[in-house]
Every structure is written in structure tokens, then in C-alpha cells.
A and B are shown apart, each in its own frame.
Chain A
Amino acid sequence: MGKRFSLTIYKFVAVACLVAASGVQAADDRMETVGQGLICMCGCNQLLSGCEMINCPSAPPMRKELKGYIDAGKDDKTIFATFADKYGPKVLSAPSTKGWFNLSAWIMPFAALAAGGLVVIFFLKRLKARAAATPDASPIDASKYENEIEEELRKLNPED
């Protein structure tokens, strides 16, 4: 009974250690992921998780602060908001999606892609229409030549 009890205790301790260890690992992972959403304020312009400057005056206290929030169970959104309140919006590694100006940072590249795509399609259609209107510039019936090439290659390369 005593032996079984001891074994149960050992198992419990082992499982507790594993759970605790995975908790530490999860906290470390979260430090890393949340740290990628923040900028080190020493002026190096690096992500908080990436600043490895020796004797950096900002990264260690900021990391300590972040760890405190994570240990206190705060969610990412609250942590970012707390840092932004304290250091200003420049502490965030990417613009937020609040307000049209910040939102424009995200939208503009894709809007440019869409607008550019439309321009290219319009340009191609116009050129195609112009080509169709010009009799001597009509497209060649390429399939006929492709078949001939295919046939020639087969003669050249009988094993295919």
C-alpha cells in the first residue's frame, strides 16, 4: 500500500513537473510571440524579442514588464494597450487597425495591387481590341505550328 502510495506520489510529482515545465515553455513562447508585437525603445528599432544589444537600457526592463503581465494572465490585446499607453503608439511593431489613418497602412498595398491589376487588365483589353481592329496584326494560329513542331520533334526523337 505504502509502496503504491509512494509510486502514485512520484507519478503525481512527475506529471506536475511536466505540466509546470510546459507552462514555463508556454510562457516563454508567449514572451516570444507577444515580444514580436513590440519594439525595443532603446532606438535600435528592433523587435523586443529580437533586441540582443549588450547592456541595452530598454529591453531587459521591458521584458520584465511583459513577463509580469503574462504571469498576471493578461491577454495580448490588453498587454499591447498597456504598453501603448505607457510608451506611445511607436512601441507597437505594426500599426493598429484603429482609425482610418492606421488602417490605410494595411489597406494601401493591396489597394495598389488591385488598382494596378485593373489598369493592366484595361491596358491588355485595349491593346487586344486595337490588335483585332488591325487586320495585319491578327493573331497567328499558333496551334497549327505547335502541331507541326510536335510532329517534327517526334521524328527527331523517335523514342518519345
Chain B
Amino acid sequence: MAQLGQFGLAMAFILAAYAIVASLVGIRARNDKLIASGRNAAICVCIAISTAIFSLGYLFLTNDFSVAYIAAHSSIDLPLHFKISSIWGGQEGSLLFWSWILTVYSALVIAQNRNKHRAMMPYVTSVLMGTSLFFTAMHLFVVNPFKLGAIQMPNGAVSLFHPNDGAGLNPLLQDTLMVIHPPMLYTGMVGFAVPYAFAIAALISRQLGDTWIRTTRRWTMIAWGVLAIGILLGGNWAYHELGWGGYWAWDPVENASLMPWLIGTAFLHSVMVQEKKGMLKIWNVVLIVAAYTMSIFGTMLTRSGLVDSVHAFAKSDIGGYFMAFIVVTLSGALYLILDRLPYLKPESQMGSVVSRESSFLFNNLVLLVSCFAVLWGTMFPVLSEWYNGNKITVGAPFFNRVNVPIAIFLLFLTGVGPLLAWRKASTNSLKRNFLMPAVIALASGVPLYFLGVRHFYAWLSLVMSVFVGITIVREFYKGAKARAYGTGERFHEAVVNLTLRNTRRYGGYIIHFGFVLLFIGWSGQAFSEKIRFPESGIGKTFNVHQYDMRVEDMGVRQGPNYAAQYASVSLYEYGKKIAIMSPEWRKYGGRDQQGTTEVAILSTLRNDVYLVFQGSTDGVSGDFTVYYNPLVMWVWIGGTILGIGTLIALLPNRQTPSKRLQPATVKESEELGQAV
């Protein structure tokens, strides 16, 4: 089966190279058959890489430890679902998985547009296959997942090695979320390759209208939304698996996924200006090139060991190859942009500084500065080492101090931007749209202060959340009220139909509302508390805020591939027993003999009680740490709403029949509601 996988990789390499050549020669020679052949080859690359990835999966399932990658990342007793997730548990497999997602995207996009955009598609195929070719070359020549295990004999000869059992998967990766989180992250990051390919194709073919943007809008949304959910799932994994009480530590690997997402967010906003006003054409191309480059850079950062990270489960010398690829693709894109500047002139002009266009520009500025701050902080240790030989650490305190004010300003723009009119907003409309939400938000700041929210940024974030929340709810209310009046629908029906008739706009508002909830959750971090209770035996009680905890039991149990020490702790709120918490300390066999904590969390809308058990040395007492984390659940709720909003924004607009008025009149009444 390893040979079959190897064959798949070799075929993918040859076919990707052929697809590039056939597409480029085909479009030059205006030879449709050659173009179609290139297109089919690109689809076959997907089949070849699929063969490789399924072969790798099969090798994991059958415990074929003759393959070095399987021996290093699996073991006989590893549960089935973790054997599947082991495919992306290490360097070689995760890069192969990256490639596979790229080829699936490529095949779908190429098949979807096989009879459209005839001038652009051969270039799209070439760009996508160019990336595939790079990754396939990496699999074949640098990080081959099908390499057989080998050891060096005392006489210097190298002999094949087939161990009876593998080293097992890193215990931190033996978590159900790790089955979902990396695929989502990769799907998101790789997804930016599609709009990038179309942007480059548009530049080459000089078709720089908004066709490439309209064609890739949904693909970009999918990539963006999936990446957002992937990042949040990673945060959830860190929260319940790493045992330090938080979900975001500004770790370089976390930052690597955040950077393309930030640029992708800027891109999704600025393309609206191009679609509506024919402006920002250069800017949009620059943004998508940057988003794609950041995806590749993030992959390099995660996998090369360039920076220290608690999440870097794979390190190798692939950094140089990736850097060379980034330099080549970036140089090519910049050359094309400069060469095609005459085709990228705006079709209309900005009317006023106070307009939706300019608010989107400021939104883009803030997102890019935020991305720059993350990149700067992430790379500063490397820069300092180059500059003076001292590796200066840049940890969470730096990122929080720099990014929190920027993020709050962004939240403010989230509330303001969508309510400004295109071209020019009048003073009257500003007053009408913003006076009431601003007054209510400021008024809410007073009770928040007296309720104990004295941390400035947390207070500001909550006040701003109220402001943005009201502006969004008001938009729905006004639109639905006008629709209900115009159609005779009940209010809740009007809300649903209003949303389904303009999914992009109202899906966007729902996404914004998800962000408001995320900010509320993040604000709670300012009030997190941590208390250690060392050497606590059975019967010991401890108190945190309104909660009392009593250690009821401690013991040992055997899992499928680990031994666990567990504690059973009763949790009382205001003296009433509400839960039994069962944190564990696990020690896995095989690899590293590493111990991990399995925390117990009681989540409510108000706060989380987060209990860590660090094990017992004498069997009668153990070390506990309790975290009191306010508002964390709002982060997960916000993430869910963000996902729902993304799904709604992906739906096509629905035409709903009217009960009272003709469709045109319904639309007019909705637009009136939105306008006013």
C-alpha cells in the first residue's frame, strides 16, 4: 500500500506539471482540446493525491509500522478515530493532507467553471496546479510520508526496520477536537488559493472587472468561515486540553492561522466596494495575494520550527523551500499587478470621507495593522536573534497590549460601517442611525462600572458591544417591520424572509452579531482568577467566589492506551450541590511517557469553573488548580452564531411571495426600511 501511495504522489507530480503546460500552451495556441486536457489532468491530480491520502489512512488502520511515519505517529492500541487523525498528526502527513484539500478545491472549482470564463480558466488551472506541484514535490523529495523505516547498523550499513509497535500519537493530539480542528484550519487556509488563482488569472488575462470576485465570493466565504470556526475550535481544544485556563495564548501557531484570516476579513469587506462602486481594484488584488501568501507563510511557520511554539507538533528543514516558493509567487504577483495598473483604474470616485466606502477603507486599515502587529510580534524573536544574537520573547502581554485597543476600534467600525450610506452620509442620517445606540451604550457603561467592570478595556469592549449589538438589532427590526407592514406577514416571519431575501447583507449582520458576543466573551478574560490548592486530600474543601468544592474521591483507572489518576470533586454553588467534577491526570504509554491533564469544566452563561488535577504522588492527596473564568461560554456561542451567519451569507437570495403586495412593492418597502 505504501507503494500505491508513492505511485499516487508520482502521478500527481507528473499530472500537475502536465496540467500547467497544457493549459498555458492551450490558451496561447487557442487549442480547446489542449485546454480541456489540462483541465482533466488537474482533476486527475485530485484522484492521484486522494489515492495517496487513502493509502496513508489504510497504512494507519492496518498498523503497518514498516513505514516510518506510521511508526512515529501511531500504535496498536490507538483508538480508531485517532488513527484517522494521525494522518495529519505529523509533518509529512499534514502536508499531504494540505495538498489533498488543495486538489479537492481545484477539482471542484475547475469542474464548476468548465464552461465559463474561457479566457481565465486555463490560467486558474495553472496557478492552482503550480501550488500543487510545489507541494507534491515536497512530498516526493523532502518530507515523504511513505518512506520506509530504517536504522543504521553498527557496521554503518542501513537496514530496513519494522518495529512491532509504534511510538503512538502525541497525547495532546488524542482529543476528539483534534479530529476536526486541523481539517477545518487547513480547509480555511487552503481555500484562499481559489480567489488567489482567479485574481492572478484575471491579471494575466487582463479581465479585471468584478467577474473574478463574483465567481469566487462563495469560495472565499467558505474559506473564511471555515478558518474562523477552525481557529475557535483550536481555542476550545487549548482550553480543555492544555490545562492553563485560557483559550488563546498568542502562540506563533495560533497567530499563523489568525493572520490569513484577518487579511481575508479585509478582503471580504473591500470586494463589496469593488462590486458596488468599481473601486479598490488594485487593493483587492493585493489583499488576496497577501491572504494566500500568509496561508503559505503560516503553514511554513507551523511546520518549519522557525519559531518556538507549544502547538508545533512537527519541525523540519522545509522552511527554505517554503520561503523560496513564497518569494517566487509573491514576485510574480507583484510584477503582474504593476504591469496591469492601467487596467485597475477605479470606475467611480469617492464622494465623501463619511461614507461606507471610506469606512471599509478604515476597516481594512485596522485589520491590516492588526495583522501586521501579530506578524511583527511573532517574528520579533527571530529578528532580534538576527540583529543582536539575543532571542527576545514576545508573549501574550505584548499582543494583548497592542491588539486589544486595535480590536476595540475594529468593533466600533463594525457598528458604524454598515449603517453609513454609499458615497456620502448626511448629518441627519448619522444622527438618526447612531444617536440612540450611542446614548444607550454610554448609559450602559454606568451600571457596568458600578457592577465592578473597572478594567478599562473590558469596560470599553462591553460598552462598544452594546452599541454594535443595538445597531444590528435595529437594522433587523426596521427592515422586518417595514416588510411585515408591506406583506402582512407576522414579525418573526418577516425577519426570516427579510434575511433569506438578502442573505449576504443579513448573513453579514449575523456574523457581526457573533463578533459582538465574542467580544463580550473576551472581555471576561480581564476578570479571570486562578487559585492553586496544593496537596489536597479526600475531604478537603476549597472556595472560589460563590463556589465550594469538596474532594470526594481519588483513584486510578485504565484507559484504552493510558493510565489515569482521577479525582472526584463535588461542586456547590451557594451551598447547593450542583455537579460532580472529574478531572484526570493521564499518562500515555509509548511516546515520551508524557503526562497530560484532562480538566473538568462547569460552564454557565455567567462563568466557567475550570478544575485541573495535577495528579497524586501518594494516592491520598493531589494538587488542584481552580480557574474562575467569567463569560467564556459567550465565546463559543459567538463562534456558533458566526458560523450560522456564514452559512446564511452563502445561501442564494430567495424570492418570497407576498401575501398583500406585489414582489416589487415588498422589495421597495424593505429597502425603505433599510434606508431609513
Contacts and interface: CB of A to CB of B under 8 A. Distances in A.
Interface of A: 28, 32, 36-37, 39, 43-47, 49-52, 54-55, 88-95, 101-102, 105-106, 108-110, 112-113, 116-117, 120-121, 123-125, 127-128, 130-131, 134, 137, 139-140, 142-143, 146, 149-150, 152-153, 156-157
B384 A124 contact: no
Interface of B: 242-246, 249, 251-252, 308-310, 346, 348-353, 358, 361-362, 365-366, 368-369, 372-373, 376-377, 380-381, 384, 387-388, 390-398, 401-402, 406, 421, 423-426, 428-429, 481-482, 485-486, 530-532, 585, 594-597, 612, 614-615, 625, 669, 672-673, 675-676
Contacts of B352: 128, 139
B393 A157 contact: no
Contacts of B595: 54-55
Contacts of A156: 482, 485-486, 669, 672
Contact of B244 (A32, A46, A108, A109): A46
B369 to A, nearest CB: 5
B396 A93 contact: yes
**Cβ-closest 10 pairs across A and B:** A131-B349, A93-B395, A109-B373, A54-B595, A127-B350, A94-B398, A139-B351, A50-B244, A52-B243, A113-B369
Given A50-B244, A105-B394, A131 B362 contact: no
Contacts of B245: 50
A126 to B, nearest CB: 9
Contacts of A149: 672, 675-676
B104 to A, nearest CB: 33
A92 B310 CA distance: 17
A134 B350 CA distance: 11
Contact of A95 (B398, B423, B425): B398
Given A90-B391, A91-B393, A32 B530 contact: yes
A124 to B, nearest CB: 5
Nearest to B365: A116
29 contacts: A28-B532, A45-B251, A45-B309, A47-B395, A49-B530, A51-B244, A52-B242, A52-B612, A52-B614, A89-B392, A90-B381, A90-B391, A92-B392, A93-B395, A101-B384, A102-B392, A105-B377, A109-B373, A109-B376, A109-B406, A116-B369, A120-B358, A123-B361, A124-B353, A127-B346, A127-B349, A128-B350, A128-B352, A142-B421
Contact of B390 (A37, A43, A89, A143): A89
Interface of A is mostly: helix
A50 B396 CA distance: 11
Given A47-B397, A131-B351, 14 more contacts: A50-B244, A89-B393, A93-B397, A94-B401, A105-B377, A106-B402, A109-B369, A109-B406, A113-B406, A116-B365, A123-B361, A139-B423, A139-B424, A143-B428
A3 B307 CA distance: 68
Contacts of A88: 390-391
A131 B365 contact: no
A92 B672 CA distance: 57
A50 B392 contact: no
Given A46-B244, A50-B246, A146 B429 contact: yes
A52 B369 contact: no
B377 A152 contact: no
Contact of B310 (A46, A95, A102): A46
Contacts of B594: 54
A81 to B, nearest CB: 15
Given A108-B376, A131-B349, A156-B486, A146 B428 contact: yes
A153 B373 contact: no
A72 B388 CA distance: 34
Contacts of B249: 46-47, 50
Contacts of B614: 52, 54
Contact of B615 (A47, A54, A94, A128): A54
Given A46-B244, A139-B424, A54 B309 contact: no
Given A39-B393, A120-B362, A123-B361, A52 B625 contact: yes
B644 to A, nearest CB: 30
Contact of A54 (B244, B393, B585): B585
Contact of B531 (A28, A102, A134): A28
A36 B401 CA distance: 13
A137 B346 CA distance: 13
Contacts of B675: 146, 149
Nearest to B308: A45
A88 B353 CA distance: 49
Instruction: Give the interface centre of B365, B387, B423, B532 by most chain A CB atoms within 10 Å.
Output: B365
A17 to B, nearest CB: 16
B251 to A, nearest CB: 7
A112 B365 CA distance: 9
A110 B365 CA distance: 12
A160 B396 CA distance: 50
Contacts of B380: 95, 105
Given A46-B244, A150-B676, A120 B361 contact: yes
Nearest to A157: B485
A108 B361 CA distance: 20
Contacts of B392: 89-90, 92, 95, 102, 105
A50 to B, nearest CB: 4
A90 B374 CA distance: 18
A112 B372 CA distance: 8
A142 B244 contact: no
Instruction: Give the interface centre of B252, B366, B530 by most chain A CB atoms within 10 Å.
Output: B530
Contact of B393 (A52, A93, A109, A140): A93
Contacts of A124: 350, 353, 358, 361
Given A50-B245, A124-B358, A143-B426, A105 B395 contact: no
Nearest to A131: B349
A91 B392 CA distance: 8
Contacts of B388: 101
A95 B395 CA distance: 9
Contacts of A134: 349
A49 B528 CA distance: 13
Contacts of B252: 45
Contact of B348 (A113, A120, A137): A137
B113 to A, nearest CB: 34
B70 to A, nearest CB: 27
B486 A94 contact: no
A142 B673 contact: no
A6 B351 CA distance: 83
A47 B669 CA distance: 56
A117 B397 CA distance: 25
B393 A153 contact: no
Contacts of A128: 349-353
Nearest to A99: B388
Nearest to A96: B392
Nearest to A29: B529
